[in-house]
Structure 1
Amino acid sequence: MKNNVLKGLLLASSLLTSVSFAHAADVTLTLESWRNDDLQIWQDKIIPAFEAKNPGIKVVFSPTAPTEYNAALNAKLDAGSAGDIITCRPFTSLDLFNKKQLSDLTSLPGMDNFSPVAKAAWTTDDGKSTFCVPMASVIHGFIYNKDAFDKLGLKVPTTRDEFFAVLDKIKADGTYIPMAMGTKDLWEAATMGYQNIGPNYWKGEDGREALIAGKEKLTDAPWVDPYKELAKWKPYLGDGFEAQGYADSQNLFTLGRAAIYPAGSWEIALFNTQAQFKMGAFPPPVAKAGDTAYISDHPDIGVGLNTKSAHPDEAKKFLSWVASDEFANLYANSLPGFFSLNSHPVKMTDPLAQEFVSWRDNHKSTVRSTYQILSRGTPNLENDTWTESANVINGTDTPDAAAAKLQKGLDSWYKPAK
């Protein structure tokens, strides 16, 4: 009897030891991110899908508040305490690669699922090295209140003349503010205004690359004319728009007080939970029917490998999975409004998100004009574009004056490569 008890204890001890060793063998990867709103989605959907196929590798999603992320991440990287996987902002993450804090992922399995345009935000200027796996982009356009359009008998505009005719009808009726956008926070005027409608004027990537090359200037017509259109928005933004912040604009629209919202697709999830009316979306109207149409399909988020990770092989497994079709479908449908950059097409289950992403079929995609190279110096072109976009809408600067200020600031430090 004693022998049997002893054998049982030894067997139990052996099992506990083996379980202990199995747990000890598990590798835990920490993922740094600014997307604290996404914590539950990563914990409930994305990480379990990866861990189910990769036993022995655990992933912890560790977000920091968006406004604190850059400073916190830089401090951790400098101290050697950052996570294994680093969420990469577009274009500015090049600094981390140049400081040898992000690894070269050019040959990572799965990277051939992305086009050069999709990888541009995380590729060196010479195009030779890519250091983050592209995860998602955001698309600009206009979200509208379908119920309001039906009530007023309005059709979705496709040309600029139709767009302003719709705004005039909404204003004349008086039930709704025609468009919900303010200028208090500055960036809203540039991101939802100038960068939204601008690509149809400067012809997307053709104009953006010409600006970087010095072949076009911000004082040229394709860059001034979007400001001329923005100046015409002022009468449609409602009383007190100059003191209206971003959250105020969101509230005006979701409460049903405004008919149109100049939008980024990242609004979709929030609006779905708050708006008590049917919504639709339309892309930036073109000058005339049949014109080549462009959209800002801006890379927003990627993930890279910390060069000081203690588990680079396991981290690369995770990054290759992020580059897969499985991840593309899972991520895009978990976060409607953040669209996969994978060449594998993803069918969106959210109808509003599907409307946005469908524009890729008949529009040429481009990225925000100020992000690559042109905002590395002082004054910062991106930040100055915020200010001037607001000034033009407010009427404190003319379109020509705004463009002249922006070009002068750029000329003060930027010399295009010859």
Structure 2
Amino acid sequence: MLTKPISRRSLLGLSAAGAASLMLGGCSETRSDGKTEVEFVSYKREAVSIFEALMAEFNESNDHIYLNFTSPNDAVTIMKTRFVREDYPDVVAIGGDASYADFVDSNILADMTEYPGMAQVQQAYQDIMKSVTYVPMDGIYGVPYIANAAGMLYNKDMFAEKGWDIPETWDEFIALCEEIKAEGEVLPLYLGFLDTWTILSPWNSILVDLVPQDHIRKVNAGEAKFADYYREPAEKLYQLLQYGEEGPFAYSYEDACTAFARGQSAMFPCGSFAVPQILSANPDMNVGLFAMPAADDPEDRLVVSGVDLCWNMTVANEDHRELVYEVIDFLNEPDNLQTYCDDQKAIPCIEGDFTLDPLFDDIQEFLDAGKVIDYPDHSYPSGMACDARLQAFLMDGDVDAFLENWDSLWQRYNKTVIRKVQEAAQE
């Protein structure tokens, strides 16, 4: 699931409290049955049934560890509250996003580079974990488990029936949209931009084709401005409005999923995380995903793929490192990981002979070649409400004002990170 990043500023108070208390004991304790309890807290509420089943299987077969795996509502907020109270789970299971960067920056997560199973983690996802932190880090502070991908979802049966080819360039994509629009039977796209976070999905997919991967680092380092990079992506994002539903800001993410599932549009600019919702409205739908063709050269296409779930051990519980590793080994067993991927339409971060859902057939070559980049918005400060800024731009269409405003607000809301990046560069 694509989630809104949580600002590091909300964790600044944790840095001092965390540094003073991390040497205190964590949550692990010996139970009356002689087993040591190891607690995992996960933000993946939609996968609670899978992890409950895996927890039961682990506890039945293991004679010295009791796994307590919970997935509460609003899990990240609960994690932060527990950190303030010096009540640290052994492992927090979150995405490789701004929350991960916040926790690393607050000295809460332990370096897991030496976890033996890290050798089986695909290098592309190890690199993504390193790129998410605000300043370069020597280690990896979590074990990537599964990933998702974003681009353009499409109705495979409709494409086959109409004889439409998957576009590989922006011109081909616009030509296809014009053809579908001219036929008038269905919409080229459904957008659902009432929920502002949904705008981030096509925005991310367009960005990675058109801007340098390190553009945010350059801005934070004072070497560039977003105005140097974001004009073309903004213009192409705005162009999508011509091919979606009338009044897209009145329709929600759920509305878009349902409309797409019912065949009201040929495409939906979103990600694999939306497919379970789509299939709940139409279990028989044949959904595909292709790379956003935002570039003029097909070779410049990339797939946005972020670490959707990783295992992050807290520093407070490093004395249970071997027990935590044993649990992660179990969760990473191929059969268990395959079960998760089948149910959640996910991509394994672990190398192995896994069967991906046919959803990913059209981006398999990108995954195999490591042509994947993390969601750029994972580095956006939440206080700036970047998704709302994008929605406001789409409502008025003033690219110049959008670029000027974005750069100005970035300096205001990201000043702490900017200072850290520039201090690190000087060092």
TM-score (norm 1): 0.81
1:260 positional shift = 0.5
Deviations 1:210-240 (A, max 9, x none): 44444332101x3210111111111211122
Q: Distance in 2 between matches of 1:79 and 1:188?
A: 34
> Do the aligned partners of residues 323 and 209 (structure 1) sit closer, same or farther apart at CA in structure 2, a change above 3 Å counting?
farther
Residues 1:408 and 2:408 are matched in the alignment = yes
| Kept in 2: contact 1:170–1:176 (CA 8 A) | yes
Amino acid at match of 2:99: T
Paired residue for 1:12?
A: none
Paired residue for 2:18?
A: none
Paired residue for 1:188?
A: 198
Q: Distance in 1 between matches of 2:162 and 2:60?
A: 51
Paired residue for 1:163?
A: 173
Deviates more, 1:262-271 or 1:229-238: 262-271
Amino acid at match of 1:127: M
1:64 positional shift = 1.4
2:49 to 26, 40, 46: 40
Q: Distance in 1 between matches of 2:116 and 2:333?
A: 9
Question: 1:220-369 to 2 correspondence within 5 Å?
Answer: 220=228, 222-275=229-282, 276-309=284-317, 311-322=320-331, 328-336=337-345, 338-342=346-350, 344-362=351-369, 364-369=371-376
State the number of aligned residues: 383
Deviates more, 1:105-114 or 1:322-331: 322-331
Q: Distance in 1 between matches of 2:392 and 2:158?
A: 30
> Do the aligned partners of residues 219 and 22 (structure 1) sit closer, same or farther apart at CA in structure 2, a change above 3 Å counting?
closer
Question: 1:187-206 to 2 correspondence within 5 Å?
Answer: 187-189=197-199, 191-203=200-212, 205-206=213-214
| Kept in 1: contact 2:341–2:347 (CA 8 A) | yes
> Do the aligned partners of residues 56 and 312 (structure 1) sit closer, same or farther apart at CA in structure 2, a change above 3 Å counting?
same
1:84 positional shift = 2.5
Q: Distance in 2 between matches of 1:183 and 1:117?
A: 31
Q: Distance in 2 between matches of 1:141 and 1:219?
A: 24
1:71 positional shift = 2.0
> Do the aligned partners of residues 306 and 268 (structure 1) sit closer, same or farther apart at CA in structure 2, a change above 3 Å counting?
same
Query: Between Structure 1 and Structure 2, whose CA radius of gyration is higher?
Result: 1
Amino acid at match of 2:90: D
Deviates more, 1:71-80 or 1:206-215: 206-215
Q: Distance in 1 between matches of 2:230 and 2:113?
A: 34
Paired residue for 2:80?
A: 74
1:163 positional shift = 0.7
| Kept in 1: contact 2:168–2:298 (CA 8 A) | no
1:148 to 149, 158, 175: 158
1:280 positional shift = 2.1
Residues 1:120 and 2:127 are matched in the alignment = no
| Kept in 2: contact 1:103–1:305 (CA 8 A) | yes
| Kept in 1: contact 2:295–2:301 (CA 8 A) | no
2:78 partner SS: helix
Q: Distance in 2 between matches of 1:101 and 1:287?
A: 40
2:227 partner SS: coil
RMSD of aligned alpha carbons: 2.9
1:366 positional shift = 1.3
Paired residue for 1:14?
A: none
Paired residue for 1:16?
A: none
Paired residue for 1:134?
A: 144
Q: Distance in 1 between matches of 2:367 and 2:324?
A: 32
Paired residue for 2:392?
A: 391
Q: Distance in 2 between matches of 1:208 and 1:138?
A: 22
Identity %: 19
> Do the aligned partners of residues 290 and 252 (structure 1) sit closer, same or farther apart at CA in structure 2, a change above 3 Å counting?
closer
Deviations 1:338-374 (A, max 9, x none): 32223x14532421134444422356221122423x5
1:123 positional shift = 5.5
1:127 partner SS: coil
